[in-house]
Structure 1
Amino acid sequence: MKTSIRRSAIFTGAAILLLTACGTSGSAQSSAPGKDDDGQLKLGYVLPETGQLAFLGPPMIQSTNFAIKTINDAGGVLGKPIPKVAGGDEAGQEAVAAQSADRVLNTGVDAIIGAAASGMSLAIIDRVTGESVVQCSGSNTAPTFTDYDDGGFYFRTAPSDALQGPILAKTIQGDGHKRVALVARADDYGKGLLDSTKKALEDGGATVTVAETYDPKATNYDQLVQQVKNSKPDAAVVIAFEEGTQILQGMIEAGLGPQQIGLYGTDGLRSEELPALVAPGKPATLAGMKGTAPASASNPEYVKALKAFAPTLKELQFAPQTFDCVTTIALAAEQAKSDDPGKFVDEMIAVTKDGEKCNSFAACKELIADGKDIDYDGVSGPLDFTDAGEPGQATIEVYTYDAKGQLQTVSTEVSKGQE
């Protein structure tokens, strides 16, 4: 059986005790009842039920539940069903996310799905991995996580923004723009994507007229908009979450809308509701605005099945990646023949590459039962985890809004990183 050795994954017994003791302050580091090899895989999540990214909560939570149902319908993990998932709200607030993580950990989970926002994952990662519990996010894109000292327990099925930035830059320059203003929220997500986009633009010969980060909790962005206008760009990029609505309104009022310059967003703004939020009753206001976001492989069977499971779902962003987090964890436990995260963590990378291909839990489980090494290709596409526990390449969607305010896919591009 193949196994993977991740960075920082091998410790002496003393180092493990030290990491557990120092991983966080205020968390119940040694009181969680789980992580014993009891034969039943237990999962939890910390995802946005409220807050700026609340629109991502339903698709990610429902996809988690759908993945569990799919696994249980195939006989469960290690012959037992995964019980009801223990949930917590990240809420867009670090303190709330940390409290939620503590509560979920105290239920004895073996792995946690989430958080959705990179900043919220950074608020809980030491708590989770310090307990030697696996953490897998379907939406964290900040480059920070690639080299984060997580003891080998953190994974993500969403690609790093180091892969998205070059596609965004290529799109902007392909549209003929040469002077580009960049503004981004001042967190790991915003800074990471700003830096990778800026480098790619400059490497391509474009001039970055301004590269500014802002406080996402600010109540007024007039000065930021004026900075962009004064730099006289022919294109502007807004790397934002919910607060981007206010920034876009200010830019349009300042004559920096998509009818005047190239206007671009990223995954934090990719929402079918954005035009209505920016200009209620005027859907054409954002017509022509473009953006990039991690895409999923075209998978109509998964989409149809998820919508049948959760008929009220409208937004599907990061749902496939979340499904793949759950399935990868389950397959790793099957391959390790253990629900102990300290044991199945060594199979998390291995089950995504260099084995016999399979694209469902049931099919992969059957191969494992036959003693085969597997290569799980997820509903979001091939995973092929690097040693950092993340996809080695990314399919990036280029999206736009039409005159009716409808979200459209322009194209998809593949961006490859380095092993």
Structure 2
Amino acid sequence: MVHPKKALVAAAALAGAATLVLAGCSSSSTPTSSASASASTHADPAAACKPGTPSTGPLKIATILPQTGSLAYLNPPAEAGYGLAVQDINAAGGVLGQPVQVGPITDSGASSDLSVSTASAAQIASSDAQVVLGAESSSVTLNFVDTITSKCKVQLSPANTATALSGYSSYYFRTAPPDTVQGSALGNLIVGDGVQKLGFLVFNDAYGTGLRDVVEDTVTKAGGSIVYGAKGKGQEFAPGQTTFSSEVSAVLAAKPDAIAILAFDETKSIVPELKAQGWDMSKVYMVDGNTADYSTTFAADTLTGAQGTIPGAQPDATFKQRLVDFYKTSANADLKDFSYAPESYDAIVLAALAADKGKGTDGPSIQANLAAVSGVNGGEKCADYASCLALLNSGKDIQYTGKAGIGPFNSENDPSSAFIGIYKFDATNVPVFQKSIQGSTN
């Protein structure tokens, strides 16, 4: 089998629903050193970056995605998404008439071992890539975002959701919505299901606690109560923990109507413990970090009826098939998960269009034009690189509508609106799409 990383570089080179306005406000706990200050107090690491003479060399994309660690299952859809985007861009003539190049391709690892992302970020910082895709974990991004953006490289995450990253750096953007949107959607789902007393099993991670804070705010404002794992109670568990007998006993002793599990790979140990202690698993809620295919992990019927949320529009059938076909060709493997594939695709197309509009592939030119091509100033809507490029070349303003269905970037470089998918687990422990809810970050 060809290694996916090498195959993707080769492929890139060869390629030449229901609508509900949601709102929320929260802060995240930020355990890493780079995250010690929120965006409101943290000095912009890219403050010294100034526009200069635009560079007209090839656009080079570096990636820092989870090849290892608890989020490694999200790497294939991201690879398929950005790889297909590069293929489509190059098929349309490239950026400024030159093919997009990919590399270095690096591992972001997990928040439980930040040395992996530290080393990868150092490698990227010393490279000539102008755009960086990743990471998928918010805590991992908070570990290295200063390193990347201080070099005037544009960082685009397809999956970060921690509110601590909103407005963190003028050179940091994301195509996934912040936790205010997903947290509000999950909180409203929980309230709508009649839950009055909610318990949290949440890890002490910027992602987990940030989501917890928004869900808690949504539930309590609707008249519900948090009986375990609430903000300020000190009942979070450590990332990477593998045994949960005491935590499960404690949350069950609080007699919740439902339990929200906010974690990554730790979920594989939490679920069996809940089951063993007699919990009704249809009363479990999850989020994008753990709403995944557990068909080969748990016995059949373990998670039947449990629900979860995943940011992003459900990819249409045609786009899904294109992702599947691309990944089969580039990595010689089957693509079974599509989480954040549309967001990865859109991140690369937006960066390319920003370079086209600014007539420069340097970081400052791309950064200065990202909001514009996302439609912040209006403009003619276009859904693919080729048609958007034609409009730019004719002197028109554009709004790239893309695959993920996000709105234009707001003043904090977050999507101004986004879709959240609601999923329910079937008897084979596979999450099945139910509906989409559109939320706003404004």
Normalised by the shorter chain, which TM-score bucket? 0.7 to 0.9
Question: 8 Å contact 2:292–2:431 — kept in the other structure?
Answer: yes
Q: Which has the higher contact order (CA 8 A, sep 6+)?
A: 2
Deviation per CA, 1:246-277, whole angstroms, max 9, x where unpaired?
A: 01111111112315xx11111011212x2432
Distance 1:84 1:394 in 2: 27
SS in 1 for 2:372: coil
* CA–CA separation in structure 1 for the residues paired with 2:273 and 2:102: 45
Using the TM superposition, give the Cα deviation of residue 114 of structure 1 relative to its aligned residue in structure 2, in angstroms: 0.1
The residue number in structure 2 matching 1:393 is 417
Q: What does residue range 179-258 of structure 1 map to in structure 2 within 5 Å?
A: 179-211=197-229, 212-258=235-281
Matched, 1:378 2:405: no
**Rounded Cα–Cα distance in structure 2 between residues aligned with 1:185 and 1:36:** 44
Deviation, structure 1 residue 356: 0.7
In structure 2, the residue matched to 1:106 is: 126
Amino acid at match of 2:90: N
Aligned match of 1:271: 292
Amino acid corresponding to residue 169 of structure 1 in structure 2: G
Q: In the alignment, is the contact (CA less than 8 A) between 2:86 and 2:348 conserved in 1?
A: yes
Q: Do the aligned residues in 2 keep the contact of 1:376 with 1:383 (CA within 8 Å)?
A: no
2:80 is aligned to 62
Structure 1 vs Structure 2 CA RMSD: 2.0
Question: Which residue, 128, 143, 163 being the options, matches 2:163?
Answer: 143
CA drift of 1:109 comes to 0.3
Query: Which residues of structure 2 form unaligned runs of 5+?
Result: 1-39, 230-234, 329-333
Measure how far apart 1:384 and its partner are.
1.2
Once the two structures are TM-superposed, the CA of residue 297 in structure 1 deviates from its matched residue by 4.6
TM-score for both structures, normalised by structure 2 = 0.84
Identity within the alignment, %: 31
The alignment status of 1:299 with 2:316, answered yes or no, reads yes
Equivalent pair of 1:297/1:381 in contact (CA under 8 Å)? no
Distance (Å, rounded) in 2 between the aligned partners of 1:171 and 1:229: 21
1:409 aligns with 2:433: yes
> 1: CA distance between counterparts of 2:290 and 2:428?
17
Q: Answer whether contact 2:130 2:154 (CA < 8 A) is retained.
A: yes
Please identify, of 210-219 and 162-171, the stretch whose mean Cα deviation from structure 2 is larger: 210-219
Cα deviation for residue 298 of structure 1 reads 4.2
**Secondary structure of residue in 2 paired with 1:84:** strand
SS of structure 2 residue aligned to 1:348: helix
Looking at structure 1, the residues matched to 398 and 323 of structure 2 have their Cα atoms a distance apart, in angstroms, of 25
Q: Do the aligned residues in 2 keep the contact of 1:139 with 1:157 (CA within 8 Å)?
A: yes
Q: 1:345 aligns with which of 356, 367, 374?
A: 367
Instruction: Tell me the number of residue pairs that the alignment of Structure 1 and Structure 2 aligns.
Output: 385
Alignment of 1:288 with 2:305, yes or no, is: yes
Deviations 1:358-396 (A, max 9, x none): 000000000000011110001111331111111112211
Kindly state the Cα deviation for residue 180 of structure 1 after the two structures are TM-superposed.
Answer: 0.6
Q: Distance in 2 between matches of 1:147 and 1:347?
A: 16
Q: Which runs of 4+ in 1 moved over 6 A?
A: none
- Equivalent residue, structure 1, for 2:37: none
User: Secondary structure at the residue paired with 1:155?
Assistant: strand
3-state DSSP class of the match of 1:349?
Answer: helix
- Give the superposition deviation at 1:107: 2.4
Specify the code of the residue in structure 2 equivalent to 1:330: A
Matching residue of 2:146: 126
Instruction: State which drifts further: 337-346 or 325-334.
Output: 337-346
1:63 Cα deviation from its structure 2 partner: 1.6
Q: Which residue number corresponds to residue 89 of structure 1?
A: 107
Structure 1 residues 97 and 36: CA distance shift in structure 2, 3 A: farther
- Structure-2 separation of matches of 1:406 and 1:109: 38
